[in-house]
Amino acid sequence: MAFLNVFYLPDFHLPTGEGATPEDTKVDCINNINQCWFFSYTKPSEPICGSDQVTYNSECHLCFILLYKEFNITKLHDGPCVSQVTFIFHFYE
């Protein structure tokens, strides 16, 4: 029975938006990083956008960069980062 409970581990979510700080994010990462090895085998990646405007594969990927590469980043939002695209139209008469 205990084996079945492993498959129902809740996903962890990092704080998002302007109120999220690298320090708060780091605490959440430290508390949840042990789940990442499990999620990498059982759950498809869901991209997230970091405060550095880089799309990360998941919360685990961002946590790895934050904890082991020591970048000061936070999660902006779920989904990939979208850069602003400028369209230039040429009108000929």
pLDDT at position 77 is: 92
Q: pLDDT of 1-42, one tens digit each?
A: 444 444 444 567 888 877 888 899 999 999 988 888 776 667
Number of other residues whose CB lies within 10 A of the CB of residue 17: 10
Q: Does this model's pTM top 0.85?
A: no
Q: What SS3 state is found at 56? A: strand
Q: What are the tens digits of pLDDT across the range 36-74?
A: 877 666 777 789 999 999 999 889 889 989 998 888 899
Q: In this predicted structure, what is the pLDDT of residue 20?
A: 86
| Domain residue spans of the chain | 22-90
At the top level of CATH, the class of 22-90 is alpha beta
Tally Cβ neighbours within 10 Å of residue 67: 14
Please tell me the predicted confidence (pLDDT) of residue 74.
92
pLDDT at 5: 43
Distance CA 71, CA 26 (A): 10
